[in-house]
Amino acid sequence: MSPFDAAALGVGPVLQSTPFAQVIAAAIMEDNDDVIVSDRGGYLRVLAPRVCLLSRATVEAATGSPVRFPGELEVIMSSFAGRMRLTEHGAVWWLAGESAPDPPGPPANDAVR
């Protein structure tokens, strides 16, 4: 039994099954609680309850190299559940009909001084 009703409350990306998609799924699991990742062979369905955050900094820490947002995520994202906002610092998906949450911000070392 899942920790939330994924069909009603789950939001997040559907990713083509690639090594980079595995990194993205792991980063989403690190950035959120109660994430469900379903490996469907050719794709990964990643769902979090109500809001799903993905920080570019988390992905870069996992890969050890720079990642371009927007750009690299969209290449492997076939679809998504909910609504989505993508910035240079990350992505956020949220439940349709609810207020848009703030997307991930710049890492602390990128902060304006």
pLDDT in tens, 49-84: 999 999 999 999 999 999 999 999 999 999 999 999
For the segment 35-45, the average pLDDT, to the nearest whole number, is 96
**For residues 11-44, b (16+ Cβ closer than 10 Å) or e, as one string?**
bbbbbeeeebbebbbbbbbebbeebbbeeeeebb
**pLDDT higher than 50, residue 112:** no
Per-residue confidence (pLDDT) for residue 3, from 0 to 100: 61
Per-residue confidence (pLDDT) for residue 106, from 0 to 100: 78
Nearest in space to 74 (alpha carbons), one of 13, 6, 11, 10: 13
Per-residue confidence (pLDDT) for residue 1, from 0 to 100: 38
Residue 43 sits at φ, ψ, to 5 deg, of -150, 160
Confidence of residue 107 (pLDDT cuts 50, 70, 90): low
Kindly report whether the global pTM for this prediction surpasses the value 0.85: yes
**pLDDT higher than 50, residue 24:** yes
